[in-house]
A = this chain, B = another copy of it.
Amino acid sequence: MTEKSEDKQENETPPQTTASLVDFVVDAIIDGVMHGRYVQGQRLIAADVAEEYNVSRAPVREALHMLAGEGVVELIANKGARIRRLSVDERIDFLEFTEAMCVLGVRLATSKMRDLSLRSTVVEQFEKIEDAYARRNASDFVNALYTYHIILNEISGNGFVEFFYRRPYIRFYTLLLAELVPGNHWDQYILNYRLIHETILSGDAHSAVIMFTSHIRWVLRNMRIDNE
């Protein structure tokens, strides 16, 4: 047994890695989930996926396990893999959960709004939200909102919030939430977000958190009403 635990202060290698087939398949499946090629609950047969991407089953299985660890795929022993399905209750819980995460992002980011370059990034992204709203494009709207929070979480400076909010399953579940907040609430939605956005720009972290929190409360109320 050659057990050598050399604790070289190995500096974390920057992403100069050659992507493996596993990474390729993971990305392909994520992409499929995001673009609706795979729907929630859909079964993923390893051999079929392998054939589709011209690889063997080994990297596909590894990709499925990775995605299962993430929470995008559900894996049952001897039964195979399927895209995870979230019940209405689970989606509500998820919204409550991500709210907590985004509140942190909003709070930290707001207190950094004096930095003009950060500020303009936020402003630009909000224009994309407005644009999607003007065009009544649901998919763009949801994506723009998601990216808006991505940016806030990046600005926050907390690597964990940023990292987590970027993870595919978060984005996937966020996408599912959109189904629960139908179109006839859009007008209120954008009004809320205009207020949140203005408060964030003002640099008043405390108020921004309150604005954002009450928006989520409003969403939760409507979700429950619409799905009862």
Contact = CB atoms under 8 A, between A and B. Distances in A.
Given A101-B97, A104-B96, A90 B159 contact: yes
Given A65-B66, A100-B103, 6 more contacts: A20-B78, A58-B61, A62-B62, A66-B68, A93-B159, A93-B161
Interface residues of A, number: 47
Contacts of A61: 58, 62
- This protein's copies in its complex: 2
B76 A15 contact: yes
26 contacts: A10-B41, A15-B76, A15-B77, A17-B76, A17-B78, A18-B78, A23-B77, A58-B58, A62-B65, A65-B69, A69-B69, A69-B70, A89-B159, A90-B160, A93-B161, A96-B104, A96-B161, A97-B101, A97-B104, A97-B158, A97-B161, A97-B164, A100-B100, A100-B103, A100-B104, A101-B101
A99 B103 CA distance: 11
Contacts of A117: none
Interface in A37-86: 39, 41-42, 58, 61-63, 65-71, 76-79
A22 B68 CA distance: 12
A15 B96 CA distance: 27
A160 B96 contact: yes
Contacts of A2: 1
A227 interface: no
